Amino acid sequence: MIYLDNAATSWPKPAAVPRAVAACLRRAASPGRGGHGLSREADKILFAAREALAALFGAENSGTITFAANATDALNTALFGLLAPGDRVVTTSMEHNAVARPLRALEDRGLILEIVGCDRTGALPLDSLDDALDGGAKAVVVTHASNVTGGVMPLADIGRKARAAGALLIVDAAQTAGAEPVDVAAMGIDVMAFSGHKSLLGPQGTGGLYVREGVMVEPLRYGGTGSLSESDRQPPFYPDRLESGTPNTPGIAGLLAGVRYINQRGLEDIRAAEHRLTRELVAGLASISGIEVYGPPPGAPRAAVVSFTVGDRDSGEIAYRLDREHGIACRGGLHCAPWAHKTIGTLSTGTVRFSPGCFTTAADIAAALAAVRSIAAGHGNTH
Ligand code: PLP
């Protein structure tokens, strides 16, 4: 089987990841909730993971990292915890439903939502962003990279514009954390949600939120934190403020092992390899008759995500055949991002999405291209 669905969740994980999960289950208990050795072991894992993530994202203080169940959970915390009825919020037409749905729910409660239309390649026209920010805004909410086209947003430019308008920059880094360089300070990011189970190579059920010092996010969940136990009020300080209840310590142990693997191999090395495979995919697909490839033009920044269609054929059927007839695991459909498909013109067919990861090889890409060539030429079963 060839796995090209890393944009959904990375697979396989480095061997150290399941090892760390198992070791944590054997050696650690509930963090922050006991002075005994097993509890202290759990504390150490959480602290080391926070430190590793803060270093990876260019954050000085690891207390700016709070853990969540996934990027969606972190985005809900950020959006519901920062935005209120009457606030004006600017976002883009390339957002995933993890952003779109909370924002629509907030709009139902009186938020004023301004969606800046991207072009058919998924690029954000910066003058349109300027126009949208002219009316003032509480926040700009933007994905770092689209999970449909792989297009990378110019975060540093967006950050400058947001700051000039007095707006917070809230970033969805689900597709880039661990794959593309992220520097929260240089990019002017105030709040950033990340998945632990995609390019950070951790287990599912992990993710988190970076919150710049001084930004106060209202918690979505209240409860025990192991700190200030004498008080029936939520601790005001991070990370406890946003981390109620027993955390997913085994998952976070695995996430830490994932980040350590990235650091050992080098993010730039992984990135260069994934970008090379992505370029091969784009060029190979574009050379097949009847295939349309979406996303940024050659040379424009792109994460390791490639979407394509085969004529007007249903993308779900193509993905099904790639799996059943050729052993290629990928995803067809709308990828939880209807806004993005409307933007690039694929709302009726969806797209087939190939997303290489850090264990994908050139031979995998060659096999995937051969399979698409065969299906596009009309060979094999029809379903
Ligand atoms: N945002 C984008 C751009 C994504 O691709 C995804 C993943 O599907 C998410 C948010 C949600 O991530 P998670 O599955 O970690 O909640």
Sorted by where each starts, the structural domains of the chain and their CATH numbers stand as 2-10+266-376 (3.90.1150.10), 16-265 (3.40.640.10)
Picking from 193, 152, 191, 159, the residue whose alpha carbon sits closest to that of residue 174 is 193
As annotated, the active-site residues are 336
Question: Which residue's CA is the closest to the ligand 1 atom numbered 12?
Answer: 71
The confidence score (pLDDT) of residue 352 equals 98
Q: How much distance in Å is there from the Cα of 202 to the middle of ligand 1?
A: 14
Give pLDDT tens digits for 320-367.
Answer: 999 999 999 999 999 999 999 999 999 999 999 999 999 999 999 999
List the single range of 8-12, 31-35, 132-136, 235-239 with lowest mean pLDDT.
Answer: 31-35
Atom of ligand 1 nearest to the CA of 98: 10
Question: Rounded to the nearest 5°, which phi and psi values hold at 319?
Answer: -65, -40
Which tens digits make up the pLDDT trace of 250-291?
999 999 999 999 999 999 999 999 999 999 999 999 999 999
- Ligand 1 centroid–CA 174 distance in Å is 5
Q: Ligand 1, residue 7: give the atom nearest the CA.
A: 5
Q: What is the pLDDT of residues 302-320, one digit of tens each?
A: 999 999 999 999 999 999 9
The predicted model scores a pTM of 0.97
Among 91, 192, 336, which residue has the most ligand 1 atoms within 8 Å of its CB, making it the best to mutate? 336
Which residue out of 72, 95, 118 has the highest number of ligand 1 atoms within 8 Å of its CB and is therefore the one to mutate?
A: 72
Tens of pLDDT along 195-235? 999 999 999 999 999 999 999 999 999 999 999 999 999 99
pLDDT at 15 over 90: yes
Q: Does 60 score more than 50 pLDDT?
A: yes
Cα of 175 vs centre of ligand 1, distance in Å, is 7
Amino acid identity, position 305: V
List, for residues 131-165, the tens digit of each pLDDT value.
999 989 999 999 999 999 999 999 999 999 999 99
- If you take atom 5 of ligand 1, which residue's CA is the nearest one? 147
Nearest to 355 by CA among 10, 13, 1: 10
Distances (CA, A) of 334 to 61, 281, 349, 362, 365: 38, 20, 8, 27, 22
Determine the residue of 5, 70, 96 to mutate for testing ligand 1's pocket, defined as the one with the most ligand atoms within 8 A of the Cβ atom. Answer: 96
Atom of ligand 1 nearest to the CA of 196: 15
Q: How many CB atoms lie within 10 A of CB 308?
A: 23
CA of 227 relative to ligand 1 center, distance in Å: 31
Q: What is the DSSP string of 256-293?
A: HHHHHHHHHH-HHHHHHHHHHHHHHHHHHHHTSTTEEE
Residue 32 pLDDT > 70:
yes
- Span 79-134, pLDDT tens digits: 999 999 999 999 999 999 999 999 999 999 999 999 999 999 999 999 999 999 99
* Residue ranges around ligand 1 (CB below 6 Å): 7, 70-72, 96, 98, 143, 147, 172, 174-175, 195, 207, 336
Rounded CA gap, 198 and 18, in Å?
15
Q: Rounded CA gap, 149 and 296, in Å? A: 7
At 381, the pLDDT band (50, 70, 90 cuts) reads low
Work out which ligand 1 atom sits closest to the CA atom of 146: 3
Do strands 88-92 and 112-116 pair parallel, antiparallel, or not at all (unpaired)?
parallel
Please state the rounded mean pLDDT for residues 12-28.
97
Q: Measured in angstroms, how far is the CA atom of residue 93 from the centroid of ligand 1?
A: 16
The position carrying tokens 């991207």 is 118
Query: Ligand 1 centre from 245 Cα, in Å?
Result: 23
Give the containing element (helix H, strand E) for 43.
helix 37-57
